[in-house]
Chains A and B, each alone.
Chain A
Amino acid sequence: MESRILPKDKIEQFVDALIQDYTVIAPRDERSYGEIASASEWRPDGDRPAQSLKPFFLPERELLVRYAMRSSGIELVEPPSPHGMARVILGAPPCDVAALPVLDLVFQWDDEDSLYLERRESTVIVAMACDEPCTTCFCTSLGGSPAGTEGADLLLTGLDDAYHVAVISERGKALVERYSDLFEESVPERERQRAETQETLLAKMPRQVDIEGLDEALDFDDPVWETLTQQCLDCGICTFLCPTCHCFDIQDEGTPEQGERVRLWDACTFPGYTRAHAGQPRPVHYRRYRQRIMHKFRYYPENFGRTLCVGCGRCIEHCPVNIDLRQVLSLVRTR
């Protein structure tokens, strides 16, 4: 793998140069990522934001089409293409970045979702290896790593006085070449430091979930589901903060004369999600929670070849009633 070194005293210059040329999105505060207007707004050493990168590709509320009644009939106006908006995501941890290729699978499936995919295509991703694992995360159990490169164009790893910059993709390479005067060639000593940093970090991340054969072990008919998460409030926070949950609703906002058709986040944890005139297939909580787990760890792998979870642990960290996905998975499989 090709790599470079970015001295820490050049990082501000790098970020400001990016801001000149791109919309730069970085961890802005503990709540969320956001656009930064100068290098000083970036918190490279701060905690991972509560919200993932998902809203930047699948916004909470997104215009699909605008309609207006004219004398000649209904006029439909499409939202401007997100193409060409040229964004850089900077300093996102590998779990958040790894979630994006997972989402791509469904948004590319047969009918390409242009709104999502054009955002993906116009965004360069500069990931940053974690320096300390969270207490709730378990990415290594799912094949990820605190220094994982899946979905990234560049991966920064913090060394003492510099960042090691692993060049993952052609798009990443183009980015380091564009600002080549800021980067130094890497040397074996730097590679050794990077490897050592990663090993130290990996050693702090025990495997917490046994994923091997989990899909087969998940049994729809197992009575364990019925009492597994009775404390759940069906609040949906786990789905909204999940970087891979992607279920949505489509609604019209406005009057018959004019308005907008929008896509809104939705969640399988809500009764209204499947309630239809014909009936409600998941009328009680445990059926909805079972669907969520089965979808992530059995159905998605069956359809797309990988789990719909990257082990970021946000659902554990933010659950108001302390439901721990790691425990849930081990309970349903040890029966």
Chain B
Amino acid sequence: MTNIYKPYVMAIDSIRQETSDIKTFRLAFRDPAAHADFQFKAGQFGVFSVFGRGEAPFGIANSPTRSEYIECSVKRVGKVTDALHELNEGDEVGFRGPYGRPFPIEQMQGKNLVFVGGGIGMAPLRSLLWNCLDRRDQFGDITVVYGARSTADLVYQRELQEWSARKDVDMVLTVDPGGEDEQWSGEIGFVPTVLEKADPSPDNAMVITCGPPIMIKFVLVSLSKMGFAPEQIITTLEMKMKCGLGKCGRCNIGPAYVCKHGPVFSYEELMALPEEY
């Protein structure tokens, strides 16, 4: 039997400063054989670690169609994320994964997709979005509504421009009122409001949303008003996790282990769980 807690050793290939407190790390497998065997799907996560400081779970932010590296975007909020932010290119970290249930991409085929993201919640959406764009002919219209507190808090700025420039993506960017600057040409307003204004049709569509809990809460209200049914709405949950493997017990929400039954859930599934997340 193999030791499921032994991580892969990964070298930091590059670090991109996304915002004042978010960095994206691009990691390369030190062992080429491990890389050759490694497969993941959009929506899955990994447990990343800085040796001596500990482990923390993050969504995998790159697409399985672009899997030369593993990328994760990390907001500096605590012990492990502080330690990650202190690292430099060439430093080594640990990685276990991929874990969890991915986005139901097969179920999304042939449908119009609406991505609704807030802040660093764009990370798992980015994985899925690139995945869909790399198989573009298999999906209908793609609309992206993404917002952050201010222009300086938008992640993946270069990609946001690239997606905005594409004719096959309907890109709506917004910042909270007061978060705009002089150059800002996008929307000004909270994500749910801007989503309602963009008004994508619920017909033959699925919504994938990820962001701060307060945003999700109001996005769900908006989607319901717009006529989206709970089973058309997909989100990902964050809970404190340790093992990522359904052993340590800590990510339970009712009978669901977020690390195994999630982190991707439909709104229909969430409604069956106790409100304890």
A256 at the interface (CB under 8 A from B): yes
Q: Which of A76, A249, A281, A287 contacts B9 (CB 8 A)?
A: A76
CB contact under 8 A between A76 and B52, given known A112-B1, A246-B247, A281-B277:
no
Distance of A66 Cα from B2 Cα, bound (Å):
15
A162 at the interface (CB under 8 A from B): no
Distance of A279 Cα from B3 Cα, bound (Å):
31
Q: Once the chains bind, are B3 and A115 in contact (CB under 8 Å)? A: yes
Q: Which of B55, B94, B250 contacts A273 (CB 8 A)?
A: B250
- Quick one: closest B residue to A251, CB to CB? B54
Q: Once the chains bind, are B252 and A249 in contact (CB under 8 Å)? A: no
Residues of A within 8 A of B217 (CB): none
Distance of A291 Cα from B50 Cα, bound (Å):
31
Q: Once the chains bind, are A73 and B92 in contact (CB under 8 Å)? A: yes
A65 at the interface (CB under 8 A from B): yes
Q: Once the chains bind, are A266 and B246 in contact (CB under 8 Å)? A: no
Q: For the side of the interface on B, what is the size category?
A: 35 or more
Residues of A within 8 A of B255 (CB): 298-299, 302-303
- Quick one: closest A residue to B238, CB to CB? A278
Distance of A293 Cα from B242 Cα, bound (Å):
21
Residues of A within 8 A of B4 (CB): 111-114
B213 at the interface (CB under 8 A from A): yes
A64 at the interface (CB under 8 A from B): yes
Given contacts A117-B1, A248-B248, 17 further A-B contacts (CB under 8 A): A65-B6, A76-B6, A78-B3, A114-B2, A220-B254, A221-B274, A248-B249, A250-B55, A252-B51, A252-B53, A259-B52, A268-B250, A273-B240, A276-B238, A281-B253, A291-B276, A303-B255
A224 at the interface (CB under 8 A from B): no
Interface residues of B (CB under 8 A from A): 1-7, 9, 11, 30, 49-55, 77-78, 92, 94, 213, 238-240, 242-243, 245-250, 252-255, 257, 260, 274, 276-277
Q: What is the CB-to-nearest-CB distance from A7 to chain B, in angstroms, rounded to a whole number?
A: 40
Q: Which of B6, B52, B253 contacts A78 (CB 8 A)?
A: B6
A189 at the interface (CB under 8 A from B): no
Q: Once the chains bind, are A274 and B240 in contact (CB under 8 Å)? A: yes
Q: Once the chains bind, are A248 and B52 in contact (CB under 8 Å)? A: no
9 contacts between A and B (CB under 8 A): A74-B92, A76-B7, A79-B3, A111-B246, A113-B247, A118-B1, A273-B240, A279-B213, A302-B255
Q: What is the CB-to-nearest-CB distance from B133 to chain A, in angstroms, rounded to a whole number?
A: 28
A110 at the interface (CB under 8 A from B): yes
Q: What is the CB-to-nearest-CB distance from A269 to chain B, in angstroms, rounded to a whole number?
A: 12
Q: What is the CB-to-nearest-CB distance from B224 to chain A, in angstroms, rounded to a whole number?
A: 22
Q: Once the chains bind, are A277 and B92 in contact (CB under 8 Å)? A: no
Residues of B within 8 A of A251 (CB): 54
Residues of B within 8 A of A221 (CB): 274
User: Main SS of the interface on chain B?
Assistant: loop
Residues of A within 8 A of B51 (CB): 67, 69, 74, 252, 256, 259, 261
Interface flags for A77-116 (1: CB within 8 Å of B; 0: not) read 0110000000000000000000000000011011111110
Interface flags for A250-280 (1: CB within 8 Å of B; 0: not) read 1110111101010100101000011111110
Q: What is the CB-to-nearest-CB distance from B182 to chain A, in angstroms, rounded to a whole number?
A: 32
Residues of A within 8 A of B94 (CB): 74
Q: Once the chains bind, are B250 and A261 in contact (CB under 8 Å)? A: no
Q: What is the CB-to-nearest-CB distance from B50 to chain A, in angstroms, rounded to a whole number?
A: 8
Distance of A256 Cα from B80 Cα, bound (Å):
12
Distance of A107 Cα from B246 Cα, bound (Å):
8
Q: Which of B5, B78, B260 contacts A65 (CB 8 A)?
A: B5
A247 at the interface (CB under 8 A from B): yes
Q: Once the chains bind, are A248 and B3 in contact (CB under 8 Å)? A: no
CB contact under 8 A between A268 and B249, given known A112-B1, A114-B2, A250-B243:
yes
Q: Once the chains bind, are B250 and A107 in contact (CB under 8 Å)? A: no
Within 8 A of B (CB), among A273-324: 273-279, 281-282, 287, 291, 294-295, 298-299, 302-303
Q: What is the CB-to-nearest-CB distance from B44 to chain A, in angstroms, rounded to a whole number?
A: 14
Q: What is the CB-to-nearest-CB distance from A259 to chain B, in angstroms, rounded to a whole number?
A: 5
- Quick one: closest A residue to B76, CB to CB? A277
Q: Once the chains bind, are A246 and B5 in contact (CB under 8 Å)? A: no
Q: Which of A64, A78, A106, A266 contacts B250 (CB 8 A)?
A: A266
Q: Which of A109, A252, A277, A278 contacts B52 (CB 8 A)?
A: A252
Q: Once the chains bind, are B239 and A281 in contact (CB under 8 Å)? A: yes
Distance of A255 Cα from B54 Cα, bound (Å):
11
